[in-house]
Structure 1
Amino acid sequence: MNGTRADLLTISLFARATRLSQKALRLYDSMGLLPPVFVDPQSGYRYYHMDQTETARLIGLLRQLEMPLSRIFEVLQASEIERAPLVRAYWREVEADARQKKQLVQYLSDVLEKKENHMFEIQTRQVPEAKIITIQRRVYANDLPAFISEGFGRLMDHLKAADAPFAAAPFVIYHGEVNHDSDGPVEVCIPYLGTVDPGSDMNIRIEPEHPEAYATITKAQCAFPEILKAYDAVSLWLKENGKMCSPLACREVYFENWDGAGPDDLVCDIAYPY
């Protein structure tokens, strides 16, 4: 402890000086964001120094932005020159999330008002039987892109090491709803030729021959919630044409290199087996 007890403020006085509640100060202490400079070992009373008011004010302002405490900890741990870029990066994420929610509101409005969707041409095809290697996992919406990217990467590396070429385009099967409350499961799949031993969490099986209806979409249209429109369009086509969905789940077939594609390039088929 620097200085004397007379230099310090009780938690109630420090709360008044910083306009933070005592409950908030105790939380920030437990998170390591703003620990008191001294805690009386007998009474457990917390004492703060006036020099800590600047940190307290910064925390309060960041909370006004609804920045999570874990992100605030990162800002406080960063050097002074790194702090402003971290705040700007966080706000870019907030704005991107707001744009996505605005698009979702428009999508929901269209659904509730039963507006017809004529954006997509629905086609059909017969998909031959294929031997596929897969990784399946339960994931929520926030973790889905990372899982798909990582899963495809691992499967591709595994097939390359076994000198087993692709037999068709990679695809993702959704065995259940994926959102903030439901976790699928989701299965990344690659059809291949040759002989491959499965990895520790990989599975090899035969995907049966089947017909499917599909809509082809651009990379930009793969973004949520825009991609939902393609799913709706294929589902509606099946209903209007008296087709029953098969036990095989809906899927996204990625026939182009994702990283090399531009936003207007066609990269994916939204497909429903029937």
Structure 2
Amino acid sequence: MDDRANVTHDDTLLTIGAFAARARLSAKALRLYDRLGLLAPAHVDEATGYRYYRAGQVERARLVALLRRLDMPLARIAEVVHAGGDRAAGLLDAYWADVEARVAGQRTLAEYLRGRLTGRDSDVYGKFAVETVDVPEQVVLSESRHVLADELPTWIAASLGRLEEAARDCGGVTAAPFVVYHADVSAESDGPAESCVPVADEAAARAWSEERGRTRRTRVRVEPAGRLAYTRITKAQVAFPQILAAFGAVEEWIAAQGLTVTGPCREVYFADWEAAGPEDPVCDVAFPVR
């Protein structure tokens, strides 16, 4: 609602200085909030350009200030203050969930970097429990792309979404989707990476790929049965580069056990990514071994 609406200039209005003191904000901040549509003056004198505020606007001014203390960007503050009620609370909840996810990711990154800086990588690796699992032969729909590390999260989500939708015409998804790294993916190296979704009906999958998969170079292949050495990680640990600690831990465990890596490393996504919180397990970092 426009704070200027239906207001007359009378003695109940506060100058910007008086209002700033009452709201515990600076006049500079109030001018910025006005420019961004967060807190408009109740009245602006046409002759002098002086801004005046109602005492009743103090609550909104303090709300804006408190949201800023959460480091909320001004554009998101505008959404909150204009929403009001339960919707505003929901927007705040969504923002804070993003903050917690970012902090959780930064925490795991700090642990990873601490190990590298001190030369005690093994201390970091020791926090990961590594196990093995036998995986049966699987028919997979796959999509490959050369992709850099900062592009990877968006591409993984999009490609797995496309493949899971295609799987509906191929007998359905039979196991957790996974992403195979055929070469290094980093800020400088672009893989390629391959998104894979196991499906039930090989013939239907090949027909789908031939008819509708050419745009994305979707292909069908058979993933052979084998054994994976893996460690389970949380959503916060999936982000690059902290996920490298998980890969390092599995590689160190494989060497210690006298096993041999037989194929490219992978990430197996067994949980609902959107529903998971930062500390929820979502992914297995794995290597095929014998």
TM band (smaller chain): 0.5 to 0.7
Report sequence identity in percent: 35
Secondary structure of the residue aligned to 1:14 is helix
Q: Give the aligned partner of residue 252 of structure 1.
A: 267
Counterpart of 1:170, as a letter, is: P
> What CA RMSD, in Å, does the superposition of the two structures yield over aligned residues?
5.0
Indicate whether 1:232 and 2:232 are aligned.
no
Shift of 1:200: 8.2
Asked if structure 1 preserves the Cα contact closer than 8 Å seen for 2:81 and 2:88, the reply is yes
Shift of 1:34: 0.7
Q: 1:52 to 1:222 in 2, by over 3 A?
A: closer
Encode CA deviations 1:7-26: one digit per residue, 9 max, x unaligned: 43443443333232233223
Q: Give the aligned partner of residue 36 of structure 2.
A: 31
Counterpart of 1:225, as a letter, is: Q
Asked if structure 1 preserves the Cα contact closer than 8 Å seen for 2:229 and 2:254, the reply is no
Unaligned runs of 5+ in 1: none
The more displaced of 148-157 and 59-68 is: 148-157
Secondary structure of the residue aligned to 1:202 is coil
Question: Which of 215, 223, 234 matches 2:229?
Answer: 215
Shift of 1:56: 0.6
Asked if structure 2 preserves the Cα contact closer than 8 Å seen for 1:214 and 1:234, the reply is no
Shift of 1:81: 5.6
Shift of 1:76: 1.7
Counterpart of 1:171, as a letter, is: F
Indicate whether 1:20 and 2:30 are aligned.
no
Question: Which of 190, 197, 217 matches 1:190?
Answer: 197
Cα distance in 1 between the residues matched to 2:82 and 2:30: 18
Q: Give the aligned partner of residue 160 of structure 2.
A: 152
Cα distance in 1 between the residues matched to 2:83 and 2:74: 14
Indicate whether 1:204 and 2:225 are aligned.
no
Aligned pair count reads 261
Q: Give the aligned partner of residue 13 of structure 2.
A: 8
Cα distance in 2 between the residues matched to 1:104 and 1:27: 35
Cα distance in 2 between the residues matched to 1:207 and 1:151: 16
The TM-score normalised by the length of structure 2 is: 0.62
Unaligned runs of 5+ in 2: 1-5
Shift of 1:59: 1.2
Shift of 1:266: 9.5
The TM-score normalised by the length of structure 1 is: 0.65
Q: 1:23 to 1:129 in 2, by over 3 A?
A: same
Secondary structure of the residue aligned to 2:40 is coil
Indicate whether 1:133 and 2:133 are aligned.
no
Cα distance in 2 between the residues matched to 1:37 and 1:90: 29
Asked if structure 1 preserves the Cα contact closer than 8 Å seen for 2:143 and 2:216, the reply is yes
The more displaced of 132-141 and 224-233 is: 132-141
Cα distance in 1 between the residues matched to 2:172 and 2:19: 67
Shift of 1:33: 1.2
